[in-house]
Amino acid sequence: MSEKNYIHPASWWEPCADGKVKCRLCPHGCVISNGHTGFCAVRENRDGELFSISYGRPVAVHVDPIEKKPLARFMPGTSTFSFGTFGCNLGCLFCQNDSLSRGKYESPGNYDFVTPERIVELAQSYKSQSISFTYNEPTVFAEYAIDVAKLAIDAKLPRVLVSNGYITREAANDFYPLIDAANIDMKGFSEDFYREMTSSHLQPALDSIKYLYTLGKHIEITTLIIPNKNDSIEMLNNWLDWVEQNLDKTVPLHFSAYHPCYKYTAPATPRETLLAIRSQAQSRGFNEVFLGNI
């Protein structure tokens, strides 16, 4: 496994006609031709078999405060060993981390291979109190994250997931039970917003949030607020209705200011917008409300 050119077999796929494969990791359900990757750019069909080219190849590794994930109510004041790879299964026009989400392994062998065992060893050597799957979308390196998580359980290191929640239930059944805490990005409480701004759909993200909640995991939810797109009080109230009906009012909610990035250049979110959102949420009894990037 430590060989430089090793490529890890993918899980959650099935063969199709003409040497194609169908990926079952996320709701895109990409049908991938030989020699090509899916939407995420890190799952590749090689001669009729699907491989995870991001497995073992982190491109961002840091020790962060847990509050940076952001998690406000899980192990506050501790540090978390954080890592991510290239690739993402959403196409957010406003991506705040496009160098990773849209990055590609032009030649996987040119990147250092880091085993799951080494990730846990590094976390311990830095005296981190947890391990976080973060930076890009962990769903696209789920095989790697799962192997790290199993070893982290043995090492008694809590596991943190920072994700868009765009995953099939099949894959989530294998991944989410291994997680202790998650911050899920709910991009905007509208199918139109998800389709137009992220090239995806709302319902799978909601299903993931609810599934983590029913598993009894610590969950916090973040929304990046974009002027004239997902900042209306009507949309906020619809979102709060959903949280109240499907989760509860104690779930920490984060609302962050958008800044022009990637393919979206609208003006940044005014501070007053976030303050109004917090005030409205608090008026409805949501007291765990946090603002970011202001």
| pLDDT at residue 53 greater than cutoff 60 | yes
Per-residue pLDDT tens digits for 176-193: 999 999 999 999 999 999
The pLDDT score that the predictor gives to residue 109 is 77
**In the chain, what are the domain boundaries?**
8-52, 60-292
| pLDDT at residue 107 greater than cutoff 90 | no
d(CA 239, CA 245): 10
pTM, 2 dp: 0.96
Evaluate the CA torsion angle 129, 55, 70, 217 in order and state its sign.
negative
Q: How confident is the model at residue 5 (pLDDT cuts 50, 70, 90)?
A: confident
| pLDDT at residue 148 greater than cutoff 60 | yes
Facing residues of 256 across strands?
Answer: 224, 292
Q: Which amino acid is at 167?
A: I
What DSSP letter does each residue of 198-252 carry, written as one string? HSS-HHHHHHHHHHHHHTT-EEEEEEEE-TTTS--HHHHHHHHHHHHHHS-TTS-
Per-residue pLDDT tens digits for 203-213: 999 999 999 99
Residues of the chain with pLDDT > 70, as a percent, come to: 99
The pLDDT score that the predictor gives to residue 120 is 98
d(CA 69, CA 130): 12
- Within 10 angstroms of residue 6's Cβ, the number of other Cβ atoms is 15
Residues of the chain with pLDDT > 90, as a percent, come to: 96
The pLDDT score that the predictor gives to residue 154 is 98
The pLDDT score that the predictor gives to residue 179 is 98
Return the HEC string of 28-60. CCCEECCCCECCCCCEEEECCEEEECCCCCCCE
Q: How confident is the model at residue 110 (pLDDT cuts 50, 70, 90)?
A: confident
* Rounded mean pLDDT, 120-138: 98
Parallel/antiparallel/unpaired status of strands 13-15 and 8-9:
unpaired
The pLDDT score that the predictor gives to residue 176 is 98
| pLDDT at residue 4 greater than cutoff 80 | no
Q: How confident is the model at residue 20 (pLDDT cuts 50, 70, 90)?
A: very high
* Rounded mean pLDDT, 253-282: 96
The pLDDT score that the predictor gives to residue 106 is 85
Query: Token pair 């868009």 is at which residue?
Result: 164
Residue 148 tokens read as 């790290």
Write down the mean pLDDT value for the chain. 96
Helix segments in 33-185, DSSP class H: 98-101, 116-125, 142-154, 169-175
CATH class assigned to 60-292:
alpha beta
The pLDDT score that the predictor gives to residue 23 is 98
* Rounded mean pLDDT, 125-152: 98
The pLDDT score that the predictor gives to residue 280 is 98
Among candidates 229, 226, 238, which has minimal Cα distance to 284?
238
d(CA 255, CA 274): 7
